[in-house]
Chains A and B, each alone.
Chain A
Amino acid sequence: MATDHTYTHEKYAYQKYYVPEQSKWPIIATVGLGLTLFGVASIMVNSSQGESTGGSWLLFLVGSLIMAYMLFGWFGNVIRESRAGLYSPQMDRSFRWGMSWFIFSEVMFFAAFFGALFYARVFAVPWLGGEGDRGSSNLLWEGFQATWPLINTPDPVAYPPAKEVIGPWGLPLVNTILLVTSSLTVTIAHHALKAGHRGKLKFWLAATIALALGFVVVQAYEYVHAYKDLNLTLESGIYGTTFFMLTGFHGAHVILGTLMLIIMLVRVMKGHFTAEQHFGFEAASWYWHFVDVVWLMLFTFVYIL
């Protein structure tokens, strides 16, 4: 069995590839995720049928606790192994492929929602309003005017219209600036890490986190404003639907990315990462850039156009 040194072959340098022994984390993660989601589903179903949701909340809570325990345990394990020098550059590449394809899968997830937005704008709403190939639908929705942003829904009783929508040049612009800047600062931090400037690294990473939290706060404020003042809600037809689903999923990703960055900061504080080996940090920053790009798409297609 392999030891810690590198084998040499005529042409190739063999690296050790770490195959972990048995691990209890995956099965714990399965139980945790299963309970959490089963809990969430029963909360939804029971509350819609007016039944008590106490037991469901309990399931959900237990599941989430197990998930949290698992996340700490599993990642802790990986970090320990990494710090023990068990990972070779080849292993590092596996992680890189893993993270890149994971981000690609996230891109496709957002693509589905952007697709829904484009479809509604370009096809469904004009058809309902009597234009285009299937314009005869206006027979059913007489008096309905197709506009975008769609304020008046075809059936205003079922989907009460919003008073107004959120313009791009106020808070959303602020948010754009916050996120783009944060993408820059995280890059600066990365360069600092590669150059071995730990002080700079800490500063710029912390700055990134601050900007990220700023974004979240502004977004939350905007949501409250939309619900309270504009009557723009999930229920106000396809505009509200796509608006909240896109920005909402983006927001959830921002929060996740921020958590990643915070963990990275903690690890930096603890003295983890070297100028050469810091994939954890890079993964978080890749993720952050991805979140940023999604926002730019959102800003363009949801707010401006």
Chain B
Amino acid sequence: MSAVIDTHAGEHHHGPAKGITRWLFTTNHKDIGTMYLVFSFAMFLFGGSMAMVIRAELFQPGLQIVDPEFFNQMTTMHGLIMVFGAVMPAFVGLANWMLPMMVGAPDMALPRMNNWSFWLLPCAFLILASTLFMSGGAPNFGWTFYAPLSTTYGPPSTTFFIFAVHIMGISSIMGAINVIATILNLRAPGMTLMKMPLFVWTWLITAFLLIAVMPVLAGVVTMMLMDINFGTSFFDASGGGDPVLFQHVFWFFGHPEVYIMILPAFGAVSHIIPAFSRKPLFGYASMVYAVGAIALLSFVVWAHHMFTVGIPIAGQLFFMYATMLIAVPTGVKVFNWVATMFRGALTFEAPMLFAVAFVILFTIGGFSGLMLAIAPADFQYHDTYFVVAHFHYVLVPGAIFGIFASAYFWLPKWTGHMYDETLAKTHFWLSFIGMNLAFFPMHFLGLAGMPRRIPDYALQFADFNMVSSIGAFMFGATQLLFLLIVVKCIRGGEQAPAKPWEGAEGLEWTLPSPPPYHSFQTPPEVK
């Protein structure tokens, strides 16, 4: 069963409204998707600039550019902004653009709420950014905001930070509800669950994760709020609470959160690799089950972030085993991608370059994740740059490359123009080299014993830090090129056909490029 579109009779509904109200009042999934993507890129630059401050300070031993206090604020805000401002909204933006087109729907299921989900984000980040100018400075306790550093010892702005997190949470939950309702209720006739494109599947599961864990994050920041302002003792041993309780609740959110940041990328890559291999995805069903398995396991591994806090050994072992198990379904995905490429007819346009780099570098990040999962070894790795290397490998060439790959893949569809392939390839290669230069040496630093979240370091870490900083500057500067490519593509370029990629499949390619304002006015039928 599906739908045809209906709008208020008498109003002009054939195209977007004019002026600023188009964006403020819009209920259109494409407009909202665009706003999400633009916002996310702005946040990427903002959070990235903070990473540049971090890398500049760490360029050499000694304190030269910023005060340690400000350094901590940079680390914290960098982590928060990248996670909540850059990666998550980028995926929601992709979902907004693509889901209705992929399932054959006119729009998202709850269009007004969709608009609200978006506009809450700038509101939340405005509040978060304003803490930088408050007395006592911005949050300085790491993006994981462990109590009691963030409660009893936090700056006054912590209360504002808490409400900003609340608003982000509301935004994410509503966004996720919208995604689920769209997928479950607006699929074209004939599109059974097991015929859904993988991007849709991964987003369905991501949305489930979001609804399950964002409220827990809201819960833990509420506990902080109460401890700070109303004398409760959740995280204070002298009242019978426990600082470690904070970590349990936080990581119950936090670990599924990292999969929220990667699953949609898995989905997108599962479209891109078959398209440029001109060969169907090797194992559709096992891909779906693998994502499901990863999502379920992600609820029972949280304490692998807490191996050193002193949990009883039975717990330690349980969380170690459960964490290690995640390698199995993730492996299934990696093997599937490789098997899809095997004996295909491969070409390497920008989306494919990013997708292949994604598979390789994400896997390296996954390997270091597996090493971290070995509890005794984590006693050495924990809170060192080895961890920083791990998560940047899964996040930068993982999440971020996944987003770049998707953006190049779908840009012709969105804008109706082909992007500049030469520039895009340049963007890829500079990013690839810069990113590896920046983050690979961090493995060595961590193993050699450099703790994370420090503004200054002992002399034996000097050389690799300098290499890392150079790589980071290179990677950062390269991202301005991406901005240029996208702007160029929006403003003109070779006309894109409905299906610009030879091997691509899916309903979105049956629509013209750019697609009509309301995607499918009459639902297509899927055989």
A/B touching: CB–CB < 8 A: yes
Given the known inter-chain contacts A154-B240, A241-B232, please indicate yes or no for A45 contacting B6, CB distance below 8 A.
Answer: no
User: Would you give the shortest CB distance from B492 to chain A, in whole angstroms?
Assistant: 28
- Taking a contact as CB atoms under 8 Å apart, the answer to whether B1 and A102 are in contact is no
At the interface, yes or no: B252 with Cβ under 8 Å from chain A? yes
At the interface, yes or no: B212 with Cβ under 8 Å from chain A? yes
In the complex, what residues of A have CB within 8 A of residue B111's CB?
19-20
Report the bound CA distance from A20 to B111 in whole Å. Answer: 7
In the complex, what residues of B have CB within 8 A of residue A4's CB?
6
In the complex, what residues of B have CB within 8 A of residue A97's CB?
109, 177, 180-181, 184-185
At the interface, yes or no: B166 with Cβ under 8 Å from chain A? yes
- B522: which of A13, A14, A120, A150 is its contact (CB, 8 Å)? A14
Which residues in window 4-34 of B have CB below 8 A to A? 4-9, 11, 13, 17, 21-22, 24-27
Which residues in window 79-117 of A have CB below 8 A to B? 86, 88, 90, 93-94, 97-98, 101-102, 104-109, 111-113, 115-116
In the complex, what residues of B have CB within 8 A of residue A12's CB?
1-2, 189, 525
What count of chain B residues pass the 8 Å CB interface test? 92
- Taking a contact as CB atoms under 8 Å apart, the answer to whether A94 and B119 are in contact is no
- Taking a contact as CB atoms under 8 Å apart, the answer to whether A41 and B159 are in contact is yes
In the complex, what residues of A have CB within 8 A of residue B2's CB?
12, 14-15, 17, 90
- B5: which of A19, A134, A236 is its contact (CB, 8 Å)? A19
The stretch among B217-225, B281-289, B473-481 that forms the contact with chain A is: B217-225
- A120: which of B22, B106, B240, B523 is its contact (CB, 8 Å)? B240
- Taking a contact as CB atoms under 8 Å apart, the answer to whether B6 and A2 are in contact is yes
In the complex, what residues of B have CB within 8 A of residue A102's CB?
173, 177
Q: Which of B6, B21, B110, B113 has the most CB of A within 10 A?
A: B6
Which residues in window 122-166 of B have CB below 8 A to A? 123, 126-127, 156-157, 159-160, 162-163, 166
User: Would you give the shortest CB distance from A46 to chain B, in whole angstroms?
Assistant: 9
Report the bound CA distance from A3 to B9 in whole Å. Answer: 8
The stretch among B56-64, B65-73, B242-250, B270-278 that forms the contact with chain A is: B242-250
At the interface, yes or no: A11 with Cβ under 8 Å from chain B? yes
Report the bound CA distance from A9 to B188 in whole Å. Answer: 12
- Taking a contact as CB atoms under 8 Å apart, the answer to whether B186 and A41 are in contact is no
- Taking a contact as CB atoms under 8 Å apart, the answer to whether B237 and A128 are in contact is yes
- Taking a contact as CB atoms under 8 Å apart, the answer to whether A238 and B4 are in contact is no
At the interface, yes or no: A7 with Cβ under 8 Å from chain B? yes
Report the bound CA distance from A281 to B27 in whole Å. Answer: 26
In the complex, what residues of B have CB within 8 A of residue A155's CB?
238-239
At the interface, yes or no: B38 with Cβ under 8 Å from chain A? no
Given the known inter-chain contacts A7-B522, A23-B27, A234-B226, please indicate yes or no for A116 contacting B211, CB distance below 8 A.
Answer: no
- Taking a contact as CB atoms under 8 Å apart, the answer to whether A44 and B1 are in contact is no
At the interface, yes or no: B234 with Cβ under 8 Å from chain A? yes
Report the bound CA distance from A288 to B109 in whole Å. Answer: 25
Report the bound CA distance from A123 to B237 in whole Å. Answer: 12
At the interface, yes or no: A26 with Cβ under 8 Å from chain B? yes
Which residues in window 105-154 of A have CB below 8 A to B? 105-109, 111-113, 115-116, 119-120, 123-125, 127-128, 132-134, 137, 140-141, 150, 153-154
At the interface, yes or no: A27 with Cβ under 8 Å from chain B? yes
Report the bound CA distance from A31 to B523 in whole Å. Answer: 36
Which residues in window 248-280 of B have CB below 8 A to A? 248-249, 252
- Taking a contact as CB atoms under 8 Å apart, the answer to whether B233 and A98 are in contact is no
- Taking a contact as CB atoms under 8 Å apart, the answer to whether B4 and A2 are in contact is yes
At the interface, yes or no: B112 with Cβ under 8 Å from chain A? yes
Residue of B nearest to A14 (CB): B4
- A237: which of B17, B110, B240 is its contact (CB, 8 Å)? B240
Residue of A nearest to B10 (CB): A21
Report the bound CA distance from A239 to B240 in whole Å. Answer: 8
In the complex, what residues of A have CB within 8 A of residue B244's CB?
124
The stretch among A32-40, A176-184, A259-267, A268-276 that forms the contact with chain B is: A32-40
At the interface, yes or no: A305 with Cβ under 8 Å from chain B? no
Chain A interface residue number, banded: 35 or more
In the complex, what residues of B have CB within 8 A of residue A49's CB?
156
Q: Which of B8, B213, B233 has the most CB of A within 10 A?
A: B233
- Taking a contact as CB atoms under 8 Å apart, the answer to whether A105 and B173 are in contact is yes
In the complex, what residues of B have CB within 8 A of residue A11's CB?
189
- B218: which of A19, A27, A109, A123 is its contact (CB, 8 Å)? A109
- Taking a contact as CB atoms under 8 Å apart, the answer to whether A120 and B245 are in contact is yes
Given the known inter-chain contacts A22-B27, A38-B163, please indicate yes or no for A241 contacting B216, CB distance below 8 A.
Answer: no
Report the bound CA distance from A18 to B159 in whole Å. Answer: 40
- Taking a contact as CB atoms under 8 Å apart, the answer to whether B240 and A128 are in contact is yes
Which residues in window 201-218 of B have CB below 8 A to A? 211-216, 218
Report the bound CA distance from A42 to B131 in whole Å. Answer: 12
- Taking a contact as CB atoms under 8 Å apart, the answer to whether A20 and B27 are in contact is yes
- Taking a contact as CB atoms under 8 Å apart, the answer to whether B185 and A90 are in contact is yes
At the interface, yes or no: B116 with Cβ under 8 Å from chain A? yes
In the complex, what residues of A have CB within 8 A of residue B4's CB?
2, 7, 14-17
Residue of A nearest to B212 (CB): A108
- Taking a contact as CB atoms under 8 Å apart, the answer to whether B518 and A19 are in contact is yes
Residue of A nearest to B126 (CB): A34
Which residues in window 229-288 of A have CB below 8 A to B? 233-241, 244-245
- Taking a contact as CB atoms under 8 Å apart, the answer to whether A23 and B240 are in contact is no
At the interface, yes or no: B107 with Cβ under 8 Å from chain A? yes
User: Would you give the shortest CB distance from A134 to chain B, in whole angstroms?
Assistant: 6
Report the bound CA distance from A102 to B172 in whole Å. Answer: 12
At the interface, yes or no: B86 with Cβ under 8 Å from chain A? no
In the complex, what residues of B have CB within 8 A of residue A106's CB?
215
Report the bound CA distance from A140 to B238 in whole Å. Answer: 10
User: Would you give the shortest CB distance from B14 to chain A, in whole angstroms?
Assistant: 8
- B226: which of A74, A158, A241 is its contact (CB, 8 Å)? A241
In the complex, what residues of B have CB within 8 A of residue A23's CB?
25, 27, 112, 115
In the complex, what residues of A have CB within 8 A of residue B237's CB?
124, 128, 137, 140-141, 154
New contact pairs (5) apart from A2-B5, A133-B313, CB-CB < 8 Å: A7-B4, A24-B24, A26-B115, A97-B185, A120-B245
Can you list 24 A-B pairs, Cβ within 8 angstroms, ordered by A?
Answer: A4-B6, A9-B189, A11-B189, A19-B5, A20-B111, A22-B17, A22-B26, A23-B115, A37-B166, A37-B167, A40-B163, A45-B156, A90-B186, A98-B177, A108-B211, A109-B218, A120-B240, A120-B245, A124-B244, A127-B242, A133-B313, A154-B237, A159-B240, A241-B241
Q: Which 8 residue pairs of A and B lie closest in terms of their CB atoms, listed nearest first?
A: A112-B219, A17-B3, A155-B238, A238-B240, A26-B116, A16-B6, A22-B25, A109-B215
